[in-house]
Amino acid sequence: MKKLLFLSTFLIFACSSSDDANNDYSNTSIVGNWQLTSILESGTPIHNSCDLESNMTVLQTNTGNFMQYYSDESTSEFCGESMTIDMTWSQEGSSSTYYITFAISDTTVSVVLDGETLTSIEGSEVRVFTKN
């Protein structure tokens, strides 16, 4: 009976800590799907609804892609995918700062992960992504 009680207790703790670890991983990892939620220039929104269709997929293999959407006519309803850009990513140590390099231009951007938010700052332009 003691063995059965021990085994039951062990399984309960093993399952709950496994679930907690998976939840923590999703909240502290850049891996996942990210939706662009705003583009700010000196604190002022400069995005339109088409820009906000853009999204990023970040894979565990340190690769991913950025799907950029835009419209030449911001008042138009039509929003076309302008391009899909392959990318790689890296992280130094256990910092919340990651580095994304876009293959098309070999440009590297640093991004900061804060829970479900990923932010890049380039000069006075800030792009904010939210994890889906």
Are residues 13 and 52 both part of a single domain? no
47 and 23 assigned to the same domain: no
Same domain, 58 and 24: no
Q: Which of 115, 94, 130, 117 is nearest to 26 (CA)?
A: 115
Q: What is the pLDDT of residue 12?
A: 32
% residues pLDDT > 90 (the chain): 64
Tell me if residue 27 falls in helix, strand or coil.
Answer: helix
The domain tally of the chain equals 2
Same domain, 84 and 105: yes
Tell me what pLDDT residue 74 has. 59
Same domain, 52 and 105: yes
Does one domain contain both 92 and 45? Answer: yes
Residue with tokens 């604190």: 43
Residue range(s) defining the domain that contains residue 123: 31-131
The SS3 call for residue 1 is: coil
Whether residue 88 sits in one domain with residue 51: yes
Q: Note whether 69 and 17 are same-domain residues.
A: no
Could you tell me the pTM of the whole model? 0.75
pLDDT of amino acid 48: 87
How do residues 41-98 score in pLDDT, each as one tens digit?
999 999 988 899 999 999 999 999 999 998 776 566 678 768 999 999 999 889 999 9
Instruction: Extract the runs of DSSP E, i.e. beta strands, from 48-104.
Output: 55-58, 63-70, 80-91, 97-102
Q: Which residues contact 6 (CB under 8 A, 6 or more apart)?
A: none
Instruction: Output the domain CATH number for residue 104.
Output: 2.40.128.270
pLDDT cut 70: percent of the chain above it: 75
Cα end-to-end distance, the chain, whole Å: 46
